[in-house]
Structure 1
Amino acid sequence: MRQRLALWPIVALLLSLSLLLATAPGAQAAGATGKVYVLRIDEGQVIDPGLAQFGSRVFDQAEADPDAVGIAVVLDTPGGYVDSAVRIKDRLLAAPKRIKTIAWVENEAVSAGALIATAAEYLYMAPGSVIGAAEPRELFTGETADYKALSVVVNYFTSAAEARGRDAAVARAFVDKDHPIPGQTDTLLTLTYQQAADMGYASGVAGSLNDAIRQAGIAEYELVEPQWTFSEQVGRFLTTPWVAILLLVLGVIAFGIEFMQPGLTGPAALGVICLSLFFLGNALVGTAGWVEIALALSGVVLMLIELFTPGFGVFGLAGIAAFGGAIFLAAPSAGLAWRYLVWTALAGAFVLFALIRAISKRGLGRMLTLSDSAKDWSAQSPERSHLVGREGRSLTVLRPAGTAVFGDQRLDVVTEGEFVPAGVPVRVIRVEGTRIVVRAVDKKS
């Protein structure tokens, strides 16, 4: 009887351990349903900075979710910007071991899309899909990129393929037509779904996203598809190249009109809005920050100093350099940055010149010139010292040079550096040869 009683503590201990093991987190996870996060680059979407920023958020959410077991990228894209694809490629390669990364090519993964597909741990092709044709092209001409740019893209592909155990020679043939693989018939390699599977570059053929996930070894799962936020959509739209170029051109032209005719609040407001939207868009997609914004503001301030202060162009040149530097740093890539700068300079100069000519030809020159005629203009005599102390009114904006009227005389005058709007009382404070220096009269004093 005593021996039977002595067994009870041992039995109770075994039952307790069994209960603890049954309720342990590992035991729950073994039979639980995991989550597979989905990043869609389908329906012909272009891989751009906005998409890369959205992709980063999808990865962040998945990696922060303890129930996440996979990230699936659905691909049907003609490609896009290499720098944006590299951001997604890096996240795929750096995903935690507990999260499987799966790429499913629904229709085509060409150009930058092929890089993303290569970087996934598992790559499945839908029947009829293709992958490859990733030769980099110049933004301006559409011609094949130079050898330096080509070499960089080749390394992106080959390093991703090596990291995932895929044939690096195939990855290189996607990019470099001068390094074909045996049996390649196309100038630039493009593989059909069956060729990719037969070569082992793809993990297999899958008829659907769910089929691809199950073939990757995830039996029980729940699909999670994060949606685009409003700010992400706005950022993607504002960083579309033609939208960004339009914002820059309109902003430069608007400020040019304001500089020619100060006091017109409309052009200044339009310029501020356009340039602010350009930098806001790049900030929303993660390519611009406070450094770029501060550099742009300093450029505008320097150009304003040059406008209202006599000098030798130092402030103006420094302002242009600072503003151009801000645009260059804010752009998603160096190639796109040069495109912004060149098109902004050319289009801004051409449109501004055409605008001034059109206004003058249509009799609207009063917007940019004096409204009064010069019939009462009188030449300045060599001796004007008697004008000291005389009061008149600025006829044009003095910044610092301009025209003032004294009685029935109109004279070229200059301030000591301050800005004086048109129609303000002024007084001659000194005459230096033919140079008449004036100062605004403070009526309160």
Structure 2
Amino acid sequence: MDSQTLKRFCSLLIGVVSLICIFTGNSIAQEKPTSVYRFSIREEINASAWRTTQQAYLKAETANVDAILIEMNTFGGLVNFADSIRSKILDSPIKTIVYINHNAASAGALISLASDKIYMAKGSSIGAASVVDGQGEVMPEKYQSYMRALMRATAEATNRDPKIAEAFVDPDIDVPELKEKGKLLSLTSGEALKAGIADGEVSSINEILEHEGLENAVLIDHQITWVDSVIGFLTNPAVQGFLIVLIMGGIYFEISSPGIGLPFIVALVSGLLYFTPLYIEGFAANWEILLFIVGVILLALEIFVIPGFGIAGIAGIAFIICSFAFSMVPNDAFDFSLTEPNLLFRSFMLVVISIVGAIVLSVIFGRSILKTRAFKRLVLQDEQNSSKGYVSSVVDFSLIDKDGVARTDLRPSGKVEIDGKWYDAVALGGYIAKGTMVKVEKHENYNLFVRQKFEVPS
């Protein structure tokens, strides 16, 4: 075979191999099934919902899914966490589909507008996103202005009508075909579809997948871990109040009966259970935890070191109350602009009531708790009284005024030998060198107290 023929053969072989690789690669790519990651937002929009969203998007991106489906049924929640979820959806490269199954009010409407597609179950509604306090009262204009800007910017980012989005917040926005002026806008599933806010009115998730061409997709459901459940439980206000009672009760008992140990352990464990989930959720910052520690130190100094009750004690109590309350609400140092005023007030009230309750319960039931059989099992109750024959040491008066010799250097403690026996000794008057003659002056607490013996010249 000549060189020219060999070259043609090699070129043909390379071409065949390339075609095989292309077809094989295509078949492998076609074998990869499409997938959709699904999670739900059914509760109030809060730290737990934000944590679920973060974990769901992380797992979805790791699994390289084709779309994320959020099934929503919420009446709203905290604006700052809704904004965080909104930003997460907008920044994600994965297509996000929201399925409104009944309600997407207030913060739920903001999150829905951030998605690529919105589908609504028949009879569902979206809107009414005005910022209100815990009693349902409309908040001041600065909060409404911020929410209007969020809604408008979100709608613009997802190619929806910003005027309609703003009308969810502002009753003065005029949308004649959808609402009367002076009323907040809320849309039914049919109205949202006509207004271009929703992309479809469906009766099931399967219909959504068909509309999106994902009918053959594998549906991956987000799994809530036990850690998430525990964090959700510990951040419940009722549980937080109970933990504060245990913390303050433990501190009270430890200060009242120093050295017992058990109250300190109860306070320490309760403190960890209180602050740890809040720290994980992004509420409690380092400075807030430090504020609590400083408060406890100031309180202890006031009780044990500084006479009376003054500035240190008052400052300690104030620091402890502030650390508890500030840890419950989102803030940037002392910036609470995104925190509802009533939420901060409710946090302070919960802390104050819990602390007062802890003190009252400790005073009323403190002695009873110390006398319970269960408590006595954990704490040493026996006393070794001298009236029962217990003594720290027996004084041997026969050793007083006896002479001996230092068998080690006394600096000031060491060993001395008297009548052939060695004893622990303490030098009176300073250092005594090894081999020096000594005289016993007294015997206390298992130690002989000796002084160097000087020879009197004859």
Q: Tell me whether the two structures share a fold, i.e. TM-score over 0.5.
A: yes
Amino acid at match of 1:167: D
3-state SS in 1 of match to 2:275: helix
Between the aligned partners of 1:328 and 1:444, the Cα distance in structure 2 is 54
What's the counterpart of residue 132 of structure 1?
Answer: 127
Q: How does 1:178-327 map to 2 (within 5 A)?
A: 178-183=172-177, 184-185=179-180, 187-256=183-252, 258-259=254-255, 262=258, 267-288=263-284, 290-310=286-306, 313-327=310-324
Between the aligned partners of 1:337 and 1:181, the Cα distance in structure 2 is 36
Matched, 1:342 2:349: yes
Judging changes above 3 Å, is the alpha-carbon distance between structure 1 residues 133 and 297 closer, same or farther for their aligned structure 2 residues? same
Amino acid at match of 1:304: A
Between the aligned partners of 1:359 and 1:230, the Cα distance in structure 2 is 35
What's the counterpart of residue 164 of structure 1?
Answer: 158
Q: Deviations over 1:390-414 (max 9, x none)?
A: xxxxxxxxxxxxxxxxxxxxxxxxx
Q: Deviations over 1:254-293 (max 9, x none)?
A: 5345545656656544433433221122134343355543
Between the aligned partners of 2:88 and 2:120, the Cα distance in structure 1 is 21
Between the aligned partners of 2:446 and 2:161, the Cα distance in structure 1 is 84
Q: How does 1:34-45 map to 2 (within 5 A)?
A: 34-42=34-42, 45=43
Q: How does 1:294-443 map to 2 (within 5 A)?
A: 294-310=290-306, 313-333=310-330, 334-335=339-340, 336-349=343-356, 352=359, 356=363
2:105 to 86, 107, 110: 110
Between the aligned partners of 2:6 and 2:283, the Cα distance in structure 1 is 74
Between the aligned partners of 2:304 and 2:247, the Cα distance in structure 1 is 20
Amino acid at match of 1:55: T
Number of corresponding residues:
361
Amino acid at match of 2:236: T
Judging changes above 3 Å, is the alpha-carbon distance between structure 1 residues 350 and 279 closer, same or farther for their aligned structure 2 residues? closer
Between the aligned partners of 2:197 and 2:58, the Cα distance in structure 1 is 28
What's the counterpart of residue 50 of structure 2?
Answer: 52
Judging changes above 3 Å, is the alpha-carbon distance between structure 1 residues 261 and 112 closer, same or farther for their aligned structure 2 residues? same
Instruction: Give 1:94 deviation, angstroms.
Output: 0.8
Amino acid at match of 2:171: K
In angstroms, what is the RMSD of aligned CA positions?
3.4
TM-score, L = length of structure 2: 0.69
Between the aligned partners of 1:444 and 1:310, the Cα distance in structure 2 is 36
TM-score, L = length of structure 1: 0.71
Judging changes above 3 Å, is the alpha-carbon distance between structure 1 residues 197 and 322 closer, same or farther for their aligned structure 2 residues? same
Matched, 1:147 2:147: no
Amino acid at match of 2:195: M
Which has the higher Rg, Structure 1 or Structure 2? Answer: 2
Instruction: Give 1:353 deviation, angstroms.
Output: 5.2
3-state SS in 1 of match to 2:191: helix
Note if contact 1:49-1:239 (Cα within 8 Å) is conserved in structure 2.
no
Instruction: Give 1:310 deviation, angstroms.
Output: 0.8
Instruction: Give 1:314 deviation, angstroms.
Output: 4.2
Note if contact 2:105-2:128 (Cα within 8 Å) is conserved in structure 1.
yes
What's the counterpart of residue 61 of structure 2?
Answer: 63
% identity of equivalent residues: 29
Deviates more, 1:143-152 or 1:328-337: 328-337
Instruction: Give 1:31 deviation, angstroms.
Output: 5.3
Note if contact 2:301-2:312 (Cα within 8 Å) is conserved in structure 1.
yes
Note if contact 1:236-1:285 (Cα within 8 Å) is conserved in structure 2.
no
Between the aligned partners of 2:143 and 2:242, the Cα distance in structure 1 is 27
Gaps of 5+ in 1: 368-441
3-state SS in 1 of match to 2:168: helix
Instruction: Give 1:348 deviation, angstroms.
Output: 3.0
Note if contact 1:119-1:164 (Cα within 8 Å) is conserved in structure 2.
yes
Between the aligned partners of 2:101 and 2:365, the Cα distance in structure 1 is 54
Post-superposition, which runs of at least 4 consecutive aligned residues in structure 1 deviate over 6 A? 1-6, 442-445
What's the counterpart of residue 29 of structure 1?
Answer: 29
Q: Deviations over 1:169-206 (max 9, x none)?
A: 22222222233422304822211001001100111222
Judging changes above 3 Å, is the alpha-carbon distance between structure 1 residues 114 and 289 closer, same or farther for their aligned structure 2 residues? same
Gaps of 5+ in 2: 331-338, 372-443, 448-458
Judging changes above 3 Å, is the alpha-carbon distance between structure 1 residues 216 and 443 closer, same or farther for their aligned structure 2 residues? farther
Between the aligned partners of 2:163 and 2:249, the Cα distance in structure 1 is 50
3-state SS in 1 of match to 2:102: strand
Q: Deviations over 1:296-334 (max 9, x none)?
A: 323322322222111674433443454345335532424
What's the counterpart of residue 17 of structure 1?
Answer: 18
Note if contact 2:299-2:317 (Cα within 8 Å) is conserved in structure 1.
yes
Between the aligned partners of 2:310 and 2:78, the Cα distance in structure 1 is 38
